[in-house]
Amino acid sequence: MVMVKVLFDIRPSLVALPFHRALTRPVVEIDGVERPAIWGTTEVSVEPGVHEVAVFFRYKGQRAARLGVNTEELTVRGGTGTQPRVTARLGPRNGSSFEIKTN
């Protein structure tokens, strides 16, 4: 099966950036499978088709928390020559969720 590389641009608000870089790690979940990510750009290979994508973060050392979680449906087309991109922005307040946009 042909895999398509999807770029995930994951960023906290500028106000909370130092806090999150020091103490948290983002996670991308595609169809129930978690993949570690970084603050910035993470590349994930997926099969063409429709996928359920979730983006959240955890404090370093945690294994089960899903903080700031939000989900979006992502349709990946094969052979288009265009690399799909998902943008996930975390709001500035404690308890904010990610805003996810797919294109």
- Mean per-residue pLDDT, 43-70: 95
Give yes or no for residue 73 having a pLDDT over 70.
yes
Give yes or no for residue 82 having a pLDDT over 80.
no
- Tell me what pLDDT residue 80 has: 65
Give yes or no for residue 52 having a pLDDT over 80.
yes
Q: What is the pLDDT of residues 11-36, one digit of tens each?
A: 999 999 999 999 999 999 999 999 99
The pLDDT mean for the chain works out to 93
**Rounded Cα–Cα distance for residues 16 and 23 (Å):** 11
